[in-house]
Amino acid sequence: MKSHRGTLILVFGILGLLICGPLGIAAWIMGGNDLKEMDAGTMDPAGRGNTNAGKICGMIATILMIVGLVIAILMVAFVGVAGLAHH
């Protein structure tokens, strides 16, 4: 049976929320894969709580990162359009 990576996934999820959005993507993917392995009985289920919490943090971090990118793109687009209108 494989050992769990619950603590690592939780750390990635938290770091994704705080300082590095792409780590949230890693936490989401790794957490999902590990939970599937735990359900299949091929991974130690002792880390299920940390794995699930890390996956959720990763999901939130990823969504916030995407929303931030969309807002940034829209702001750049609007500033660009406003700048062209003054010339």
- Predicted confidence (pLDDT) per residue in 10-37, tens digit: 999 999 999 999 999 999 999 999 999 9
C-alpha angle 7-59-24 in degrees, rounded to nearest 5: 60
Model confidence at 85: pLDDT above 80: no
- Minimal CA–CA distance to 4: which of 36, 57, 28? 36
DSSP 46: G
| pTM for this model (two decimals) | 0.87
pLDDT the model gives residue 79: 85
Q: What is the largest CA-CA distance in the chain?
A: 67
pLDDT for res 87: 59
Helix (H) or strand (E) holding 19: none
Q: How many CB atoms lie within 10 A of CB 5?
A: 21
